[in-house]
């Protein structure tokens, strides 16, 4: 498996960084995990051919994980892409398609077909990918219920198993409880270093033998804690990082 970090910023825009996106290649497949702002430019910069991308999987609907999809689709249209594109969405796929219409990115007018899917079928189509529900959006539950909103609070991490190796991309999450077992069995973990407890993050890195790539920025507290660890136990994600597993 080969991975390319295309975006590693937190929700706050950061000069020199793009928002969340990881390009992963295994066998003859190329998958984009999350599609934050700046992805289209990153594909051009890294000479990633528009016809090679098979699918986009969006972990959740925060803007820093999905806002790049509009420019990505527009770029593919302008490049006359013809290969169908699978897009896996965490919730409300029909409403998302209407948002594309709002932006004049009409799926029916594009030069390529888009197949929209709910996230819970991703492993049926790409057997190497397993979606793992996480707790990132649970803090919105009372607000959504009190205002009778249609939001479903769906957020996912992803486990990719290929070529006898396992890569776990946490995306954003709050607590380790829902994902800890996947970390312990993975060879590489691309870990949200911003949202979970710094103390627990440090404990997880110490306790597991996986290679850890810390993404989404570091809190001052975690940055201080990391000084306790040998440098070979973790790396800080950046937009130049390419990884072979």
Prediction pTM value: 0.94
pLDDT at 28: 93
pLDDT in tens, the chain (245 residues): 999 999 999 888 888 899 999 999 999 999 999 999 999 999 999 999 989 999 999 999 999 999 999 999 999 999 999 999 999 999 999 999 999 999 999 999 999 999 999 999 999 999 999 999 999 999 999 999 999 999 999 999 999 999 899 999 999 998 999 899 999 999 999 999 888 888 899 999 999 989 999 998 887 788 888 888 887 889 999 998 999 99
Q: Which residues, in sequence order, are CB contacts of 221 under 8 Å at separation 6+?
A: 198
Burial label for 3, CB within 10 Å (0-12, 13-18, 19+), is buried
pLDDT at 217: 80
Q: What CATH code is carried by the domain that includes residue 101?
A: 3.60.15.10
Please give the residue range of the domain that contains residue 68: 2-244
Query: How many domains are there within the chain?
Result: 1
User: How many whole angstroms separate alpha carbon 232 and alpha carbon 122?
Assistant: 33
**Are 87 and 112 a contacting pair, CB within 8 Å?**
no
């Amino acid at each position: 498996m080969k991975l390319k970090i295309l975006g590693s910023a937190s929700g706050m825009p950061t000069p020199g960084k793009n928002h969340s996106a990881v390009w992963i290649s295994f066998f003859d497949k190329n998958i984009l995990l999350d599609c934050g702002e700046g992805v289209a430019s990153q594909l051009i910069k890294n000479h990633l051919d528009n016809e090679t991308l098979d699918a986009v999987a969006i972990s959740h609907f925060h803007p820093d994980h999905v806002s790049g999809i509009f420019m990505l689709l527009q770029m593919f249209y302008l490049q006359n892409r013809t290969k169908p594109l699978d897009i896996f969405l965490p919730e409300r796929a029909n409403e998302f398609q209407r948002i594309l219409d709002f932006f004049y990115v009409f799926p029916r007018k594009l030069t390529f077909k888009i197949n929209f899917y709910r996230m819970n079928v991703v492993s049926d189509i790409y057997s190497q990918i397993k979606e793992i529900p996480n707790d990132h959006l649970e803090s919105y539950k009372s607000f959504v219920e009190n205002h009778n909103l249609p939001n479903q609070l769906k957020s996912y991490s992803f486990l990719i198993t290929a070529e006898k190796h396992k890569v776990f991309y946490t995306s954003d999450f709050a607590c380790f409880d829902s994902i800890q077992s996947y970390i312990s069995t993975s060879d590489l973990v691309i870990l949200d270093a911003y949202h979970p407890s710094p103390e627990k993050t440090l404990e997880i890195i110490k306790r597991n033998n996986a290679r850890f790539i810390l993404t989404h920025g570091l809190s001052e507290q975690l940055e201080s804690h990391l000084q306790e660890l040998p440098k070979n136990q973790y790396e800080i994600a950046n937009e130049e990082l390419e990884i072979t597993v």
